[in-house]
Amino acid sequence: MRHYLSRLRARGELLTVTREVDPRHEVAAVARQLQQKTTRPVLFENVRGSRLPVLLNVYTDHDRLREIIRCEGDETFCARLTREISLAAQLDTPVERVAPPADWITGKLSDLPVLTHHERDGAPYITAGVFLAKDPDTGRGNLSFHRSMVVSDDELRIRLGSSHDLAQFQLRAEARGEALEAVILLGADPEIFMSACVSLPPDADELALAATMRGGPIAVRPAFTVDLEVPVSAEIVIEGRILPNVKRPEGPFGEFMGYYVEVGDNHVFEVTHVGWRPGAVYQGLICGSDEDLRPLEAATAARIYKAITGQVRGVLDVSCRPTVMNTVIKLDKQYEGHARHALLAALGSHLDYNKLVIVVDKDVDIYNMDEVIWAFLTRGRADTRTMVLHDVPGFYRDAHKDHWGRLALDATKPWGREAEFERKSIPGVEQIVLDDYLPHFSRTEP
């Protein structure tokens, strides 16, 4: 992360706030306001109550996500990540073991500038922390995200979704009457952060994927109080144990769909050690914001892309913008009914998130929903190009069935009439530099 920040700073992409800011609401408010105007990350250097600066908005930009996984040229994010997942499965040595750092600083949770984001949030929450744990049966490692409510210097309360690997690890440890050791990485390498966003098969290793993204092994060292190996370059590390047979109230919390999750009994993480590198940076993240959604959308799109391309030819790319609840497929249409085949394949590819699926032609920008909706509205009938699937289950925790059902839209050109839908264009528009006509335009416009 530190190396990546230096690159962002050198390119003039990193914004810096020097005035004092309050970690309760103010930091999140400024970061959220910035997301309405720019994709640039922001570093808050003077956060009240802590000596550590706070970084947000690192993962708001799709081009930066492409850079992290080393996309080149016209290669799509989905195609690149799919290839890296395959390569990671063949990697023999994803880590390089090194000695513990001599200059590591030991502190406590209250030293960290943990943010309170939303009005009704029950406490400060760690939201950008990457959990690292091992399967107690096999020793396989796992990286994942789970919201963490700060209760005291010794206790976090965390949400483990029942379908997540970490929840399964905890259940296996609990069946033995044991706590599950884990660490929380804050300010992890961008490759580690991205790998934690990806849903891999049960026998896969997210650290191997991170090493593949980087093009070399991840340096790790022993943790201080738990039997785990920790990436050396993580800015901040919280060590501890998820207690067996203990749940306590957690919440409310403003989650990724834009609503509050009310108070519920969730797992207890007993903190055994907190430490950081000299000059460490604390990473924050506003759940449901662009920084939360862009990496999740990209990783989900890659999963759907892999599933669809295994069944349907001509799939060029997949996007899940503006939220992970919808999927847009770019298709090189080759026969009548081709779009419907793609829709059907997509609907079965991810049973949580594919609430709305749209297929468009290869001339449509699938990262621009204005273009996607324009294509549906201008390229044919709304009634015969729409499929509604009733009573298809949604999220595993959707008790009221609010996310049941699916909608599929064919927004491609009618087969055999492609010439009628040639898009108009203005020659030379892509080469125009407005500063040549309106001096200083780029510096005066938001």
* Position 252, amino acid: P
pLDDT of residue 325: 87
pLDDT of residue 324: 84
Segment 123-158, tens digit of pLDDT: 999 999 999 999 999 988 999 999 999 999 999 999
pLDDT of residue 445: 44
pLDDT higher for 69 or 397? 69
**Mean pLDDT value across residues 172-200:** 95
**Mean pLDDT value across residues 213-240:** 96
Residue 443 has pLDDT above 70, yes or no: no
pLDDT of residue 435: 87
Please tell me the distance from the alpha carbon of residue 152 to that of residue 159, in angstroms, as a whole number: 17
Which domains can be identified in the chain, with CATH numbers? 2-290 (2.30.110.10), 310-413 (3.40.1670.10)
Grade residue 396 by pLDDT with cuts at 50, 70 and 90.
Answer: low
Grade residue 7 by pLDDT with cuts at 50, 70 and 90.
Answer: very high
Backbone angles phi, psi at 421, to 5 degrees: -115, 30
Structure token pair of residue 383: 């009634």
Residue 204 has pLDDT above 60, yes or no: yes
Segment 243-252, tens digit of pLDDT: 999 999 999 9
Residue 444 has pLDDT above 60, yes or no: no
CA 314 to chain centre: 27
Grade residue 446 by pLDDT with cuts at 50, 70 and 90.
Answer: very low
Three-state DSSP string of the chain: CHHHHHHHHHCCCCEEECCCECCECHHHHHHHHHHCCCCCCEEECCECCCCCCEEECCCCCHHHHHHHCCCCCCCCHHHHHHHHHHHHCCCCCCEEECCCCCCCEEECHHHCCCCECCCCCCCCEECCCEEEEECCCCCCEEEEECCEEEEECCEEEECCCCCCHHHHHHHHHHHCCCCEEEEEEECCCHHHHHHHHCCCCCCCCHHHHHHHHHCCCEEEEECCCCCCEEECCCCEEEEEEEEEEEEEEECCEECCCCCEECCEEEEEEEEEEEEECCCCCEECCCCCCHHHHHHHHHHHHHHHHHHHHCCCCCEEEEECCCCCCEEEEEECCCCCCHHHHHHHHHHCCCCCCCCEEEEEECCCCCCCHHHHHHHHHHCCCCCCCEEEECCCCCCCCCCCCCCCCEEEEECCCCCCCHHHHCCCCCCCHHHCCHHHCCCCHHHHCC
Grade residue 170 by pLDDT with cuts at 50, 70 and 90.
Answer: very high
pLDDT of residue 251: 94
Rounded mean pLDDT of the chain? Answer: 92
Q: Which of 47-51, 81-85, 199-203 has the lowest mean pLDDT?
A: 199-203
**Mean pLDDT value across residues 13-25:** 96
Grade residue 391 by pLDDT with cuts at 50, 70 and 90.
Answer: confident
- What is the number of residues in the chain? 446
Residue 351 has pLDDT above 80, yes or no: no
Residue 97 has pLDDT above 50, yes or no: yes
